[in-house]
Structure 1
């Protein structure tokens, strides 16, 4: 059956394998499972939902996510210049990750967000906290908790919009605002994080004691996995070599994984993943939260569609976003793709309230492979399995026109069954065709 893969949930047991971190020259390695949001293992599982309900809820989340990105990314006239982005984040992010905070360690399940730059959870005493099913962290019971002053590097790196300081010798308070009017504020501190049996000291941590809005009770806060100065990925940078990867399976009841460190980058090829991994340049812009690559063109049979028509290709014009299920193309490029598909498919389209191209009678239905051409020679091929979605008896194109001028978004539907390997230090990312259920 064809389906639109909804967002995954990083949840439950964090499976860690550490070679040795006593030798600084040797990279550590750890991984955790990715669980489909609508899998029976997921805390979001709802047995009353059918496949069409799952698809439409996923699409709704994707459209909310796109509006969020649109508010963050203010493209200047010269796209190649660095952007200044207000680091507001979205409360309805799609992953949960288990980790431990403090000494002694306290278990926390928090939203994993690739567009956030700090780790925060709710703390006692709460001035104002949202309902939470798991115990709240009490910093007074942790011997490793240390509040940072306003003149600390970590405080200043958050940016003037995200801190509240009355003087350089006062304590640093972070202040984050969310797209749905949710918010979180509290003390910025150094704290110990524990992943499996290994502890990491002096990690940047937000102790949130004033948190309001639409947060899920199963979450304690947010784990920042973006490229910001104080994100988990950045703070583990030297120990993991700036390397992490994930692989999203197309099988709804099968776990996937996200990996960090030495085992995040595969070498060679085998029966699980195929040869031919090619890197494409990764573009990081201020405040380094987002991961961009460069789309040059799309092929559909003999038809080739350029990203910017006759204009020069702009570097970093495509955002990799696992938080969005659907994928998006600039409006002109999307329309050319839709027209080419209409001409290739021998059937009559029907209307859908959200999807732009749908078909009802798809007996012996055939669609040409859609190939995205990225800089560096990276070509990603998308068959009917990942490019089309099934909902309410219709088969629809799972790609939509973007609301962000000149920018596309690679959502999780087009990331399925690729091992996506990030090498932050070398500023590159690769996509390797993979059976993600076997990783």
Structure 2
């Protein structure tokens, strides 16, 4: 995190607090923090896309051979015609509309009994740990994050959306009967020496739900909750991260694709199912990966890293919960919420995953704004309003009902916001992860919203700047001890 001056250095120390100590401890420095209003507003007025020929390289600094980090970037950095002309307020509204569709899509998947695909391939790779920088993206109306990888042999660089709630890897393919606009040329399997179609009799095809067969080739179809879809043939292909080649990855070669993926060539599923990229690597990485989502409006990049070596020392670990109705999703135990160092009186069972697979708390990179069951949200919001009574209020904006007019402020003092996880760990968020700008003049909103169901979702705004690690084999998710 970049601070305006050394006098704010103490803020860094308190932004991320993970502890088993109860939040009611009388430690004033954990009760409040400062939001740098002027600095945040200035960043909303800046727009910078990446060079079209940019190649992401190894950014690891620990010196361990075979440990790779590739960049994750926000979608507003992706070079698209006319992208820089979109105003911040318009981009924000598009993002919120997409987010509503995302949430309803996740809920629909749960109520319909699961995802549209499952399965896996026989993947292999050359080094034990590798990764990619993560790019964030808001300008096309989404809260998705992009990674740049190579597809095929020789590798063709492509931007891919990462999604922790999806179980398939796919790219738009030639011949493209229906394609949306992407920043890179559409992948042509005829130019790849490693592309191999999957037959209908293959065990990989057998693992797909809704699999079809045409001309002896396995066909796939994925429908997303927001109405987006991809349809095509299943294949085995090489995926490249820097110098690291991952062979025999089962990918969808999409010949008919439509939806809200504008800019990206496709999607890199990181969900908990066997068809996801993490699932296909399986025992070779232990289902372990770490990411840090870049903060909005900054010039920096985040990171995505695979393998057990990526798990940080000193992380606070929370058990992962499995829901047979939704094996793709990463559920965690949430016991409560805190405002200003005080726990909000919310019954713990509000957040529990039932034996029937209802409710629970999902961590999702594709959802922007954290959703909470209505009763929990109201109590949480009211506690925040009580402790921000000195700040001038503004009218509701989009899905946000609690907003403030901070025009003219350099910084403001706000109460801390904390997640109380089952078993004791506490995650205290940076101020910019819960009070966000919705325009370029000084309107900030409390970045939480009520859920239309009993499902809670921890979105990517609340995850930004925090190192988050998944250890699928041992069933834990870790929150790093430092901001990143």
1:50–1:140 Cα change, 3 Å: closer
Unpaired runs of at least 5, structure 1: 19-25, 76-82, 268-274
Q: Residues 119-152 of structure 1, C-alpha deviation per residue, up to 9 Å, x if partnerless?
A: 2222233344344553333333433332222332
Which among 347, 352, 366 is matched to residue 323 of structure 1? 366
Give the one of 282, 296, 307 matched to 2:320: 282
**CA distance change for structure 1 residues 177 and 340 in 2, over 3 Å: closer, same or farther?**
same
Q: Which residue of 2 aligns with 1:375?
A: 422
Structure 2 match to 1:422: 470
Aligned to 2:396: 352
Check if 1:237 corresponds to 2:282. Answer: yes
Contact 1:16–1:195, Cα closer than 8 Å, also in 2: no
After TM superposition, the structure 1 stretch with the greater mean CA deviation from structure 2, 330-339 or 357-366, is: 357-366
Does 2:344 align with 1:332? no
Tell me what 2:335 maps to.
296
Q: CA deviation at 1:302?
A: 6.8
Instruction: Give 1:303 shift.
Output: 4.7
What whole-Å deviation, never above 9, does each CA across 1:325-382 have from its counterpart, x for those lacking one? 2211110000011222232222464421431112336868543212210113221112
1:13 aligns with 2:16: no
Please tell me whether residue 110 in structure 1 is matched to residue 155 in structure 2.
no
State the Cα distance separating 1:383 from its structure 2 match.
4.8
CA RMSD of aligned residues (A): 3.6
Residues 28 and 262 in structure 1, CA contact (< 8 A), matched pair in contact too = no
Verify the 8 A CA contact 2:79 2:183 in the aligned structure 1. no
- Are the structure 2 counterparts of residues 435 and 371 from structure 1 closer, same or farther at C-alpha, using a change threshold of 3 Å? closer
| 1:70 maps to which of 79, 89, 107 | 107
Q: How many Å separate the matches in 2 of 1:229 and 1:53? A: 38
Q: 1:123 aligns with which of 173, 196, 205?
A: 173
Number of residue pairs aligned between Structure 1 and Structure 2? 405
TM-score (norm 1): 0.80
1:200 aligns with 2:250: no
SS of the equivalent of 1:236 reads helix
1:52 Cα deviation after fit: 4.2
Q: Which has the higher contact order (CA 8 A, sep 6+)?
A: 2
Does structure 2 conserve the Cα–Cα contact (< 8 Å) formed by 1:125 and 1:209? yes
Q: Distance in 2 between matches of 1:27 and 1:190?
A: 27
Sort the Cα spacing of 1:102 and 1:410 in 2 relative to 1 into closer, same or farther, 3 A.
same
Give the helix-richer structure, 1 or 2. Answer: 2
Match of 1:101 in 2: 151
Equivalent residue runs for 1:46-195 within 5 Å: 46-49=83-86, 51-74=88-111, 84-87=114-117, 94-160=144-210, 163-165=211-213, 170-195=216-241
When normalised by structure 2's length, the TM-score is 0.73
